[in-house]
Structure formats: C-alpha cells, structure tokens
A = this chain, B = another copy of it.
Amino acid sequence: MIVILNLDAADAQVDGLRRDLESRGLIVQDIRGESKRVLGLVGDTSSVSEEALQRVDFVERVMRVSEPYKLSGRHFHPGDSEVALPGGVKLGAGHFAVIAGPCSIESEAQILSIARDVKRSGASLLRGGAFKPRSSPYSFQGLGLDGLDLLKIAREKTGLPIVTEIMSIQYLDVFARDVDVIQIGARNMQNFPLLREVGGLGKPVLLKRGLSNTLDELLQAADYVLMGGTPDLILCERGIRTFETATRNTLDVSAVPALKKRSHLPVVVDPSHGTGYWDLVYPMALASAAAGADGLMIEVHNQPECALCDGQQSITPALFDKLMRAIGAVRTAIEVN
C-alpha cells in the first residue's frame, strides 16, 4: 500500500502514523520527493482501512498496490478453473459452453420448444427467468416458483442443466435443490448477504457484473461467493452503463481478457442484455468468442402468433442456429492461431 502525504505534514505527525502502522506488523518505507512524501507499506495490509488512512488530514491519497481480491485472483490460483456441471457439461479451462433460452419463462410450451431448439443447435445449458428483477413495480415480475417448475420440466425432457436467477435469500432452499447453476443478477452483484448465502450452497454460481461495477469490485464480489465454500463460479459480463444511448448498455468485451488476466475463473458474456438490440447480439456474440470468452449467454425466443408479446423477434431459433455455427468457426480460428 502506498500512502501519499503532503510535504507540509509535521514530522511528529508522520512519526505517529508510522508507529501506528508498524504496530500492525507492517514495514514502512519512507520516500521523500520534491513535492510529496510517500510511505510504502510492506506486509499484510488487509487490516489497514484505506478509508481511515484517507481521512488522516496530512494524507493526500492512498493507493493499494496488491489486488483487493484473493480467492478469485490468479496469484493464489494460477491455472484456469473449470466448472463441471450435470450431464458432463464443462465450462472454463478450454471448455466453451453456450447458455440459451428465453428472457422470461411464459409457459410450458414456450420453454419446451425453445429448450429443444437450442439443444439441437448445440447449446449446453438452458436459461430462463422465473424471478425477474424489474425497475418498475408495474412490470411483469416473472412466474416465480411456477416458472421454476416449468424450467425443471424442460430439463427433464432435454437433459440440459438449468440456469436461473435468485433474487432473495427466501428461496435459498428451493434453488439449492432445483437449480443447476444459480445466477446472481447485475443488480445483486453487491448484495453481500445474498452472495455469502449462495456461496454456501455448494452449487455452481453465475455472477453477473453490476451495471457500474469495476472489474476489481466484481472480483471482490466473487470472493464473497468463494468464501462461502463453492469452488464453481462463473463470471458474466453483461454490459455497463455509459453515456451512449444507441445501445441499452455498453458491452465491455475487453472485460473478458482483462478478467482472465486477473482471475482463474471462467468468463461468459451476455450480449443480449449487453446491447439490448437483437441485431447487435449476433456480431457481439462473435466478438466475445473472438476475445476469448469461455461461453455465452444468449436470449432466444420462438414465434408465437401474437405480434406484440414476442413476435418477429430477437434471436429466433433459426438465427441462433446460424450463430452457433459461426461461433464454432470463430472458436476454431482463434484456437488454431
């Protein structure tokens, strides 16, 4: 940790701070420059609060040199992690998997039809929202437990493991029993009690990056989950909030290599939420694969009669099928080269 002081800090004050830090077992190196004085702290700084240091009035700035995360970092786990799922599905450490399915589960016919379609095209996992986080309380909030039951039926009929989002610790038991990969959504990335509890269930977890969370914060959130005991954690980039309005979010494709540099955990990308426009999903899925993602999470819809609900839509099963072939080709291209 680096502590930058004002040059006009009185020596007695700096000595007091120094003794305080040394009493915590740290070695303090003092560097005096022309306009600043810097203390370099060596040792286990995890007990030192950056915020408390920042409040000391002759301290200008505090910079953490070591990563703020541990369990999710490469430093403690140099090799890539692999998440093994029911049905022999693997993700990470060279294994690429596509998670596909509708945004919300609407009916048995809908989820079954889509599940069969995406399986045929090569998807490895089935997604579907049962509990939906909605900005507006007046929007459809998902079918809840009924939706989960429909998802289980689709798993039974297709063999695809299922991924769905948990929104509250109220349903921990149900999710532990019924769900193959428990998703923590972007809005809950820093719902720390939920992270802890879900990490303690022993089930694989998919953790989405928050709308305005840095990669460092994502990896600290990952540490909350991993501390619970589960080793099976998948990170998911799903777009960040920026000033741009041509897309719903800005999909941060560079998060893939930047995360993989820092962490051993597999990284998947959700271009559907990440862009918000169905015609951007296809190119951005390919871009994510080319950038080295370990998997993709893609919304696929079928064609009901009703024009409004879902018609002429987003990624249809036919377009998804075409996309799966293109993804395969891109994967081959980057593996060979």
- B-binding residues in A (CB < 8 A): 2, 4, 13, 16-17, 20-21, 29, 31-36, 38, 40, 42-44, 46, 48-49, 51-58, 63, 65-70, 75, 103, 133-141, 167-170, 187-188, 190-194, 211-212, 214-217, 220-221, 223-224, 227, 240-247, 250-258, 261-262, 274-280, 283-284, 286-292, 301, 306-314, 322, 325-326, 329-330, 332-334, 336-337
Contacts and interface: CB of A to CB of B under 8 A. Distances in A.
A283 B308 contact: no
A254 B227 contact: no
A169 B167 contact: no
Given A135-B220, A167-B192, A214-B244, 5 more contacts: A135-B217, A212-B212, A250-B250, A257-B284, A326-B337
B17 A284 contact: no
Contacts of A44: 34
Nearest to A291: B287
A136 B36 contact: no
Contacts of A241: 212, 243
Contacts of A301: 55
Residue of A33, A48, A103 contacting most chain B CB atoms (<10 Å): A33
Given A4-B65, A243-B212, A254-B251, A329 B325 contact: no
Residue of A32, A49, A191, A283 contacting most chain B CB atoms (<10 Å): A283
B192 A134 contact: yes
Contacts of A310: 52, 55
